[in-house]
Structure formats: structure tokens, C-alpha cells
Amino acid sequence: VALMSLTVAPLRLLLVLILTFLTWSLAVVGLACRPEADQSKPLSGWRKCLRKPFIILWRAIYFVMGFYYVKTKGERASASAAPLLVAAPHSSPFDILLICVGTQTCSPMSRAENATIPVLGSVLKFLQPVFVQREDSESRTKSVQEIRDRSSSPLLWPQIIIFPEGTCTNRTCLISFKLGAFFPGVPVQPVCVKFPNRLDTVTWTCEGLSVYQLMWLTICQFYTRCEIEYLPVYTPNEAEQANPRLYADNVRELMASHLELPVTDHTFDDCRLMREAQKLHMSPRAGLVEMQKLHSKLGLSFSGAQELLQQFNKIKSSRSMKAEAAFITFEDFKNYLMLPESEALRKVFALYDRDGSGTIDFREYVIGLSLLSSPVNNDDTLELAFELFDLDSDGHISQDDLKTILGQAFNIPEEDAETLFNEVNTSCSGRITLDEFKSYAKKKPEYARIFTTYRDLNLRQQQQLEGSSIQTLYDSDFEQWATQVDAAAKKLQ
């Protein structure tokens, strides 16, 4: 690398800059003085004739960078046979090499932000891409409609190339495909991309090297290999046309089998969560939770996961340990809930700690909260629990009421009970109202199980014959909860 950096790389970089300028100039000419009415139509006339020299210049850039020969297998289908090309795995900024392979251009699906990048923005616009703001649901809907319109249009649009993973990965698996390419229900041609190099200088991930570092290391290589294989056109059946998720999963399985790679339920939303974790000074890996699976099984949205991540960070940050540690210890759990150590609390903690590691990671926290605490965190259940805490039935919980119950049921010292009372009693009226009780349970759903535990113990105590062991009942309740959570959690493995 050092030798190439001093000799070949500077020359290559100079040639890349010259060729990029020529490519940009050609794109600017092709877009110049284009009528507004033609913006929604494919290029035609003399503008269309510029595509061939554009492809030659684009390919020349990659040639100079060391991609001397791109090995291709299979045949690329025509736009009429397959309006969409779906390529995977998406792992590198060099994946756009696909645009200049062969004699036909194709229109990429690209982030809307790329349109504003100097030089690259004009080059992309000449290719007539489908721009999308990935974090804007309205923009995603519009992009799907544009894909559908182009696919069914009698006009001669170029094929649209989409990387359905929606983000770059390290090529060790295929993550969940986004549905934009599959909503139209038209035939697609799967395209497998490989970079079989001994030294990997092309893979771009959120925790890896920057684009500029990758580019420099790549031009320092004498030769960079790339293989592209066009699989047969995949025509969806009726079930797949009616179910885009089924269509996407089946295409992914086909490509994964051909690439001999496993599949996972990670998505672009996992990358977004990883970035959120970084903002909270946690390890990015904390956000790697398989959002697609949690969404389909638990109905968890990205915004909901984002809120839970912030809550998770508050619990984790309650200890004076390394800030990047992305797990909750029992001490964190206990301190956050302001409860003393007890066998009951350890059992609740164990229900969250699915792998028995002694800590709760973010995924375990989400699953535990969804399967354990949230189901009992409803108005009817909380109203019943409130009635039991309201010892004198006056519609309020006094500080003495709370101290008495928490002391008897959970051995909570009066000082801790008083601190908890002040946190729940946001109006500082000296009495907890039903609304404050509910609000606090919603804010800290972990308490829902603790509140209802006391309610259940009282109800069971009243129903049992004399001499029944409350501790036995208490243990059986936890065993029942653990069994239910185990069964549900296995579906999320």
C-alpha cells in the first residue's frame, strides 16, 4: 500500500478526477434546458444518444481504479421482460459499477440526499433515478408508486436497479429485503454481486472505514475483482403478487441459496437503531435487534423501539460503569425501580434475562417488556391495583398507604417508599391520584408487574383455605409467567 500510495495511486486519482469531470459535463449537457414537461418521461432524441458515451466514461472511471475486468454470468433480461433488477448483497459504494456493465443503462433507486451532492447529484439525475427519503413514510410510498408507474408505462424507461437490503452489509448474510421492489408485483431479475478479493478494500459498514479511505485503499490495489451474475427472471405467482413480503422473502431465499449465504431478519431499521445507540454513547451493537422480526411478532414500530432504547439507556446509565456497556445489570434494575434486593425482584429480573447471562441486553429488554409487563399495563388492571393500594378507599393513595403496602409486600424501607411516592406524586399534593398512578405505570411499565403482583397475592390470599402458603402461590405465579414468556420468546429466536 505504501509503495502504491507514492507511485500508482496519485496517477490513478488524477485520471479518476479527469474522467469524473468529463462524465459530469456530459450529464450537465444532457440535462440542460430540458422542458419541465419532460421531467416525468424517459430521455429521448439527442439526450438519449448521450447514454452510450456516458456508459463508456463511467466504465473508464472504474477501469482506472483497478476494476479492469468484471466477470459476468448469465444474461441480463430486457426491460420489458424484467422492469426491475434486484441486486444483493449491497456492501460497497462500488456496487454502482452495475450501472455501466453491458450496453444498457439502468436507473438506480437512490437516497434523496444524494441529489444534492456536488457532481454526483448531476450524474445521478442524468440516470433518471427514483429518489427516496428512507426515513419518510410518505416519500417511500411515492417512490413505490413511481416504480409501479414506470413498470406499467408504455414508454421505454430504463430498467430500475434496486438494492433491496436498503443498506450496506459485510456480505456474510442477506438481511431482510425492503418491499419497494416487490409492491408492484412485476417480474424482477435477481443479480448476485461478489468481490472475491484476498484483501477486502471495498466493504463499507457503519463501523468500518469511510468511503474516502476505501477509495484510497482500492486504488492502491493493482487489481480489484468483481463478479456479477444475472439469475433467471423471477415471475411472481398470485400469492406473491398479493403478498409483497412473501415475494421479497422468496426472492431473497433464492439469491441466498445461490450465494450460499444465510439470511437474517435484520433490516435498515436496525442500522438506524445502531446510529441512535451511538448518539446515546452506547455500543452500536445495542441496536442490533432484528427489527423485522420484532415488528411482525410484537407489532413494534421503529419509533417505539427508539423510545425503548432511550429508556434502556436511562436504566443502564444508573450505574457508574463504562458508558458504552450495552446491558442492564441486576443492580441497575434494582436502582432504577428503587427497590431493595429480594427473591421476588430477582425472579422478575430473570424473566427478562432470557439467556441467563446475569445481564439484560436491549433485545431482551424489548421482548421482556412486551411479553411480561406491557400485557398487564392496561387501565382495568391498574385500576384494580390502585384500589388495593388505596387502603381507606378515598380515591387517593397517601404516603402512609404506600409505605405500608410496599413495606409489607416487598420489604421496601420507608425512605425508599417515600422517594418513590414523591416521584409518582407529580402534583406534589401529598396524595397520589389514579391518573398519576396510571401515568407512572406507563412511564415505567416494569412496575406494572410489581403492582399487579401485590393485587394477585391479595386476591389469591382471600380465595385460599386457611393454612395455604402464600409463598407457594407466589412461586407458582412466577413459574406460570416464566412458562408463558418462554413459549412466546422462542417464537422470536
Place of cell 502504491: 4
For the segment 451-472, the average pLDDT, to the nearest whole number, is: 54
Predicted model pTM: 0.72
Half-sphere exposure of 381 (CA within 13 A, CB side): 18
Q: What is the pLDDT of residue 229?
A: 94
For the segment 5-27, the average pLDDT, to the nearest whole number, is: 93
Is the four-CA dihedral 195, 196, 201, 204 of positive or negative sign?
positive
For the segment 209-229, the average pLDDT, to the nearest whole number, is: 91
Question: Quick check: helix, strand or coil at residue 86?
Answer: strand
What residues have CB less than 8 Å from 21, skipping those under 6 apart? none
For the segment 361-379, the average pLDDT, to the nearest whole number, is: 75
- State how far the Cα of 385 lies from the Cα of 432, in Å rounded to an integer: 13
49: containing domain: 2-259
- State how far the Cα of 421 lies from the Cα of 165, in Å rounded to an integer: 48
Q: What angle do CA 319, 324, 328 make, to 5 degrees?
A: 45
pLDDT band at 377 (very low <50, low <70, confident <90, very high): low
- Identity of the amino acid at 107: S
Average pLDDT, the chain: 83
- State how far the Cα of 429 lies from the Cα of 181, in Å rounded to an integer: 57
Q: What is the pLDDT of residue 206?
A: 72
Q: What is the C-alpha end-to-end distance of the chain, expressed in Å? A: 43
In a domain, 227, yes or no: yes
DSSP string over 317-375: TTSSS-TT---EEHHHHHHHHT----HHHHHHHHHH-TT-SSEE-HHHHHHHIIIIIGG
Q: What is the pLDDT of residue 260?
A: 93
- Identity of the amino acid at 229: E
For the segment 410-417, the average pLDDT, to the nearest whole number, is: 78
Q: What is the pLDDT of residue 374?
A: 61
Indicate if the pLDDT at residue 100 is higher than 50.
yes
E-assigned strand segments in 80-183: 84-88, 106-111, 130-132, 159-162
Q: What is the pLDDT of residue 82?
A: 92
Place of cell 412485476: 186
Indicate if the pLDDT at residue 118 is higher than 60.
yes
In a domain, 313, yes or no: no
- Of 326, 323, 315, the residue nearest 361 (C-alpha): 326
In a domain, 167, yes or no: yes
Indicate if the pLDDT at residue 147 is higher than 90.
no
Looking at mean pLDDT, say which of 155-159, 207-211, 386-390, 472-476 comes out highest.
155-159
The share of the chain scoring above pLDDT 90, in percent, equals: 29
Indicate if the pLDDT at residue 472 is higher than 60.
no
Indicate if the pLDDT at residue 267 is higher than 70.
yes
In a domain, 296, yes or no: no
In a domain, 171, yes or no: yes
- Of 428, 256, 447, the residue nearest 339 (C-alpha): 447
Q: How many domains does the chain have?
A: 1
Q: Which residues pair with 230 in a beta bridge?
A: 191
pLDDT band at 455 (very low <50, low <70, confident <90, very high): low
E-assigned strand segments in 21-118: 70-73, 84-88, 106-111
Indicate if the pLDDT at residue 474 is higher than 50.
no
pLDDT band at 326 (very low <50, low <70, confident <90, very high): confident
- State how far the Cα of 140 lies from the Cα of 48, in Å rounded to an integer: 28
pLDDT band at 469 (very low <50, low <70, confident <90, very high): very low
For the segment 221-229, the average pLDDT, to the nearest whole number, is: 93
Looking at mean pLDDT, say which of 84-98, 433-447, 472-486 comes out highest.
84-98
In a domain, 73, yes or no: yes
Indicate if the pLDDT at residue 412 is higher than 80.
no
In a domain, 382, yes or no: no
Residue, of 100 and 309, whose pLDDT is higher: 309
In a domain, 304, yes or no: no
pLDDT band at 299 (very low <50, low <70, confident <90, very high): confident
Least confident of 102-116, 128-142, 243-257, 461-475: 461-475
- State how far the Cα of 37 lies from the Cα of 224, in Å rounded to an integer: 42
pLDDT band at 465 (very low <50, low <70, confident <90, very high): very low
Indicate if the pLDDT at residue 45 is higher than 60.
yes
Q: What is the pLDDT of residue 376?
A: 55
Q: What is the pLDDT of residue 473?
A: 44
Strands 328-329 and 359-360: antiparallel
Q: Which residues pair with 193 in a beta bridge?
A: 228
Is the four-CA dihedral 104, 83, 152, 163 of positive or negative sign?
negative
Least confident of 134-138, 241-245, 301-305, 360-364: 134-138
Q: Which residues pair with 111 in a beta bridge?
A: 132
- State how far the Cα of 51 lies from the Cα of 27, in Å rounded to an integer: 9
Question: Quick check: helix, strand or coil at residue 234?
Answer: strand
Least confident of 49-58, 134-143, 208-217, 424-433: 134-143
pLDDT digits (tens, 9 = 90+) for 52-97: 999 999 999 999 999 999 999 999 999 889 999 999 999 998 998 8
Q: What is the pLDDT of residue 278?
A: 85
pLDDT digits (tens, 9 = 90+) for 171-195: 899 999 988 889 889 999 999 999 9
DSSP state of 221: S
Place of cell 459535463: 25
- State how far the Cα of 280 lies from the Cα of 309, in Å rounded to an integer: 9
**Number of residues written out for the chain:** 493
Q: What is the pLDDT of residue 317?
A: 65
Least confident of 43-57, 153-167, 432-446: 432-446
Cis peptide before 232 (omega within 30 of 0): no
For the segment 300-318, the average pLDDT, to the nearest whole number, is: 85
User: Taking a C-beta distance cutoff of 8 angstroms, is the pair 265, 290 a contact?
Assistant: yes
Looking at mean pLDDT, say which of 40-44, 73-77, 131-135, 394-398 comes out highest.
73-77
Q: What angle do CA 247, 252, 257 make, to 5 degrees?
A: 130
